Amino acid sequence: MNWDRINVWTNTLYTLIHSLQLARLAEFASLDDLHQHVVDAEAWLDRECSFNSPLLETPFGGGKISFRRDPNKHFTSVSQQFVKMLIQDLTVIFDEMMQDSLNAHGFAVPDYPQSKIEKLATKLDKQKYDWARKGCLELVAVRNALAHGSGRWNDKSILIVRDFVDPVPQVGEVLLIGVPMLFGLPPSGDPGLMLVHAGSGRYRRG
């Protein structure tokens, strides 16, 4: 089991929160410097791309990159998008790790994340760790609403959580997820902990 995937995600979470808070305290400093910062970011990685992408032949453009919206005035929407991006990325990582764990147990791998969760949950001590199953299902439901429901609860997401979320969300209800939820995974169902309690290995937080 490659636990470095979740450690990299966690370190990215900490780095982004730290950086955004510093930027916010400085009122994002000089917004006019954005273009130069984008140019400087080209040196963050050794390669632009590991394959011969047609986009490499496309000119960068002569226009200057600038903020379309002042992040000082729109920090709430920036924060919401920040959380949305991280949750969707975490769900992809979790799905990959579940597949590894299912293979290690000799299980056939189902197509859908919630089916993978339920199959791995058969290896759990239900009295101690049913919260992990519920939390992981919640993660999948939230990701589904964010990615496929325009940030609103849909029938599929509600079906995943209706047995343990009270009151049950309504179709079309806006889904609000704050930064604390990114740290609230252990009490509501840390994906890594579920994988460990299902017997897949050791969990490390990076």
Q: How far apart are CA 51 and CA 155, in angstroms?
A: 40
| pLDDT value of position 153 | 95
Cα–Cα nearest to 97, from 161, 4, 205, 28: 4
| pLDDT value of position 61 | 65
Blockwise average pLDDT, block size 10, the chain, 206 residues: 86 94 96 94 86 80 87 95 91 91 91 92 86 89 92 94 92 90 54 40 28
44 Cβ partners below 8 Å, 6+ apart? none
| pLDDT value of position 177 | 86
Q: How far apart are CA 143 and CA 160, in angstroms?
A: 11
